[in-house]
Structure 1
Amino acid sequence: MADEEWTRRGIDVNTPSVARLYDYYLGGKDNFAADRTAAEEILAVAPEVRAAARENRAFLGRAVRFLAGQGIRQFLDIGTGLPTQGNVHEVARETASDSRVAYIDNDPIVLTHARALLQEDRHQVIVTPGDLRTPEGILKSPEIQDHLDFSRPMAVLLVAVMHFITEADDPRRIVATLRDALPSGSHLVLSHGTSDSRVEAVDKGTSVYKRANSPLVLRNRQEITELFDGFDLVEPGVVWLPEWRPEEPGLHEDPSRSLILCGVGRKP
């Protein structure tokens, strides 16, 4: 679809979008000139961002496979981003064909593309608008309530999304609200950009994202670990992306170049 058509649909093609920047890092084509320009500014000082996006996607896949293997059959993916290879429902079904997935995003282009991809699969997979900053609205959504059974364990996926939540939005409250709605045995999957690595890249990244539709708020390891309050961390805890249950241990000489810390927690 041409940029002019998106503009007629009310889409701002001139402001970089966090979902479309991520799509560009992954080699996707669902992005506009403003997104590509902003992404290249970041890649100029931190070329590892492209690899970090792939590492983040790989972590998501490993976490979903792990949880499906643990018997989790429901996945609430908030801030899902544009569809690409290895979507949550595809990965979960490799282990359990009866898995149910709800994708949540507030980007209209994400919703358009995801619905087009999943239009024949609404029995087990839904796509619905929602804003992580108001988790109560997500939890009370009739569509979510109809699709997921909140009396049974599920996984909430907050993958590369919490670093777009400012302190003013109270990230700890957001995660606690989601946690309190989950039954025992549920899990939180979280990855979060950190300020613990690459000062130059951090400075440039936060500067560029100020022009995007969401600011980039990087946190340190302690602050990220605190988001798991009320969950028991699954081994190996909060680690760099390549360090979380790698399929090929020892493959990365410097895991910190992934720029993102991650972890999985279980609600007792």
Structure 2
Amino acid sequence: MDPTKAHPSRRYNYWLGGKDNFAVDRKSAQVVASAFPTVALSARENRAFLKRVVTHLAGAAGIHQFLDIGTGLPSAGNVHEVAQSIEPTSRIVYVDNDPVVLVHARALLTSEPAGRTAYIQADLRDPDKILANADLARTLDMSRPVALMLVATMHFITDEDDPYDIVRRLLAALPPGSHLVMTHATKDHLTSEQYASSVEANERSGVPFRLRSRAEFSRFFDGLDLLPPGVTSVVEWRPEVPEAERPSVEDVSMLCAVARVP
């Protein structure tokens, strides 16, 4: 663990109002906010989407296994809490590459007796290592549908790491009926000047980051069956509050989609 280097999970914790972050994480977060002032709002709306989508999957969709990669630090409404409140036998594997997450996950991500949770410390850029992990095999039945959760994660995978291939390799290990859930920061609502400012701020923040357009984001779902309403803002995916009470799509600037593996 290097407290002199910002990490996405601790920075996200800061934006959500948590206390499990270092000065370097807060400084990095403030650099990003200098170009995108509503970034904390975006983090909160992303978290609200997570709760809605897990509620749908564990309920109406009948998915009771979750592989949550890039889980971040535990906070209210973790995947297993939402899923097991609907189906107590739900099983969840969390994956993150931050050692701070490991410490908190082992202490706080405790399953209902009828279900199971596990935590793997691994890097998304090595999907084969994640899939080969013994704890994953002990926790999930890979012959049955799994929800692959990549929530606010893939924008940290830059083009040189071939993000589309990473997702393809993960999906290839999942049986038909599995689902892909993804959210991703977008540049669609930025002017060319705002986009340049955002890119520069992300570079200064010390955390690799890649804003993608709707078309670029949609590529992750090639060959899958998108659930309504398709590719949209996290604000507009099956919202639970009236339109007048929602933040603007532009202020949140976070795309999402949920799709079924045929």
Q: Shorter-chain TM-score: which interval?
A: over 0.9
Instruction: Structure 1: give runs of 5+ residues left out of the alignment.
Output: 1-10
User: Does 2:89 align with 1:89?
Assistant: no
Match of 1:47 among 28, 31, 37: 37
CA contact (8 A) 2:148 2:179 kept: yes
- Report the counterpart of residue 48 of structure 2 in structure 1: 58
Match of 2:8 among 18, 23, 33: 18
Q: 2:27 & 2:65 partners in 1: Cα distance?
A: 37
User: Does 2:243 align with 1:257?
Assistant: no
Distance 1:209 1:19, change over 3 A: farther
Instruction: Structure 2: give runs of 5+ residues left out of the alignment.
Output: none
CA contact (8 A) 2:49 2:237 kept: yes
1:1-268 pair list within 5 angstroms: 11-69=1-59, 70-118=61-109, 124-199=116-191, 202-211=195-204, 214-250=207-243, 251-252=245-246, 254-268=248-262
Q: 2:169 & 2:73 partners in 1: Cα distance?
A: 25
Render the CA deviation track for 1:229-259: whole Å, top value 9, x for unaligned. 1211100011011000101141336222211
Q: 1:182 & 1:82 partners in 2: Cα distance?
A: 25
Render the CA deviation track for 1:102-154: whole Å, top value 9, x for unaligned. 00011111111111213676960111111111111111111101110010011
Q: 2:70 & 2:104 partners in 1: Cα distance?
A: 14
CA contact (8 A) 1:240 1:256 kept: no
Q: CA deviation at 1:214?
A: 3.8
Q: CA deviation at 1:160?
A: 0.4
CA contact (8 A) 1:17 1:212 kept: no
Q: CA deviation at 1:203?
A: 3.8
SS of equivalent residue, structure 2 residue 119: strand
SS of equivalent residue, structure 2 residue 221: coil
TM-score, with length taken from structure 2? 0.93
Distance 1:179 1:43, change over 3 A: same
- Runs of 4+ in structure 1 deviating by more than 4 angstroms, as ranges, are 119-123, 199-202
Q: CA deviation at 1:34?
A: 1.1
Distance 1:187 1:261, change over 3 A: same
TM-score, with length taken from structure 1? 0.91
SS of equivalent residue, structure 2 residue 101: helix
Q: CA deviation at 1:97?
A: 0.9
CA contact (8 A) 1:92 1:99 kept: yes
Q: 2:22 & 2:194 partners in 1: Cα distance?
A: 23
Kindly provide the amino acid, as one letter, of the partner of residue 64 in structure 2: R
SS of equivalent residue, structure 1 residue 261: strand
Pairs aligned (count): 258
Kindly provide the amino acid, as one letter, of the partner of residue 166 in structure 2: I
SS of equivalent residue, structure 1 residue 127: strand
Over the matched positions of the two proteins, sequence identity in percent amounts to 49
Q: 1:228 & 1:118 partners in 2: Cα distance?
A: 29
Distance 1:15 1:146, change over 3 A: same
Q: 1:120 & 1:75 partners in 2: Cα distance?
A: 13
Render the CA deviation track for 1:31-82: whole Å, top value 9, x for unaligned. 1111111212222342211110000001111110010111100000001001
